[in-house]
Amino acid sequence: MLIRIRRAWDQLREGEATPESVFLDRRRLMKLAMAGTALAVAGCDDAVSGDVSAAPGAASGATAAPDPSAHLYPAKRNEAFTLDRAVTDEQWASTYNNFYEFGTHKQIWAHADKLQVRPWEVVIDGMVAKPLRLAVDDLLSRVSLEERLYRHRCVEAWSMAVPWTGFPLRDLLAMAEPQAGARYVRFETFNNPDVASGQRQPFYPWPYVEGLTMEEAANDLAFMVTGVYGKPAAPQFGAPLRLALPWKYGFKSIKSIVRITLTDSRPVNFWQDLSPDEYGFWANVNPQVPHPRWSQAYERVLGTDDRRPTLLFNGYGEQVAGLYKGLENEALYM
Ligand code: MTE
């Protein structure tokens, strides 16, 4: 059993590749130990080489078969979504991925191409008038793609700036006609341990699940991503369909979605299920609220030497602060 626990005062080293931390609570560790499970706990602060020069074709989004949606890219940029910094170099963004289905290491780009992203269907069900099962290319023919430049902030205090292509989440939900009683949206990733070796680790609560309130899902910033850097998303980015929620910590931006369920009960997400003392439902970025083991006051801008002060809601407060009025008693920032 390998258990790696960092002390709160340990500093992340510059240039380390840092997937999301998983630090299991004591009770869960005991349970796992009693079950005799081999446990490899890897975190955002695990030291992994940040050498992106070694990355081959994965960085360019190359996949074996031509992507049937390639002609839709590049989409027109929506200039309403601008940045206060340079776009992160594509090599960095495409080789510095978190996708626990394919492991806890930083070679995700080399493993995720096992994921067949066609054919691919997404189901929208639950509290909707018109439940849907949509092939992703049919879906793409029903929406209007645009490019948006978004900041992307990991809970582990690194950040990127990414040109995502996609369409507003609310457009997708509208197709299924939400019922009045729906309060939350639950998202689910594929579950295929034959393809995704990480899903053979039984102590993780697969499949990866995330959730939003209906109000959050209707916000203009909530974006369904199908492409990045002007072309269809490569598998390591969460092809063919993922979320981008730039005011929240990165773990909320679930990849490779297969099911979207409208419900009246609050979903428990993947990280919250594993470590509820450290990860919650809301996960809004806030420099004043430290993670239990490290500060969120600053962020390291990947691919640069910049260390910047973290902004409340990652700088998107004007668009989203109103969503949280009256919810001050909730754990909004974990
Ligand atoms: N979605 C799934 N299905 N599995 C994951 O492990 N990791 C999350 C999120 N979405 C994850 C996921 C985390 S922790 C982060 S920080 C972002 O994806 C990383 O997105 P990126 O690799 O495109 O930077």
Digit-coded pLDDT (tens) for 111-160: 999 999 999 999 999 999 999 999 999 999 999 999 999 999 999 899 99
Domain around 190 = 10-324
In sequence order, the β-bridge partners of residue 301 are 159
**CATH code: domain of residue 123:** 3.90.420.10
**Residue 64: what pLDDT?**
60
> Within 6 Å (CB) of ligand 1, which residues are found?
20, 97-101, 152, 154, 189, 208, 237-238, 250-251, 253-256
For ligand 1, atom 2, the nearest C-alpha belongs to 255
Instruction: Give the global pTM.
Output: 0.86
Atom of ligand 1 nearest to the CA of 93: 24
**Residue 226: what pLDDT?**
98
For ligand 1, atom 21, the nearest C-alpha belongs to 97
**Number of separate domains in the chain:** 1
- β-strands 158-168, 298-301: how paired? parallel
Distance 258 CA to ligand 1 centre (A): 15
For ligand 1, atom 14, the nearest C-alpha belongs to 251
Is 143 a member of any domain?
Answer: yes
Is 125 a member of any domain?
Answer: yes
Is 27 a member of any domain?
Answer: yes
Q: Determine the Cα–Cα distance for residues 189 and 206; give it in Å rounded to an integer.
A: 9
Tell me the pLDDT tens digit for each residue of 264-311.
999 999 999 999 999 999 999 999 999 999 999 999 999 999 999 999
Is 5 a member of any domain?
Answer: no
Is 239 a member of any domain?
Answer: yes
Is 37 a member of any domain?
Answer: yes
Ranges of residues in the chain with a pLDDT under 50 are 1-27, 29-63
**Residue 5: what pLDDT?**
32
**Residue 255: what pLDDT?**
98
Q: Determine the Cα–Cα distance for residues 59 and 72; give it in Å rounded to an integer.
A: 20
Distance 129 CA to ligand 1 centre (A): 31
**Residue 66: what pLDDT?**
86
Query: Do you know the residue count of the chain?
Result: 334
Pocket test for ligand 1, best of 98, 101, 201, 272 (most atoms within 8 A of CB): 98
Is 121 a member of any domain?
Answer: yes
Is 331 a member of any domain?
Answer: no
Whether residue 232 contacts residue 62, with contact meaning beta carbons closer than 8 Å, is answered with no
**Residue 13: what pLDDT?**
37
For ligand 1, atom 10, the nearest C-alpha belongs to 254
For ligand 1, atom 24, the nearest C-alpha belongs to 97
**Cα dist from 80 to 128, 150, 233, whole Å:** 31, 11, 22
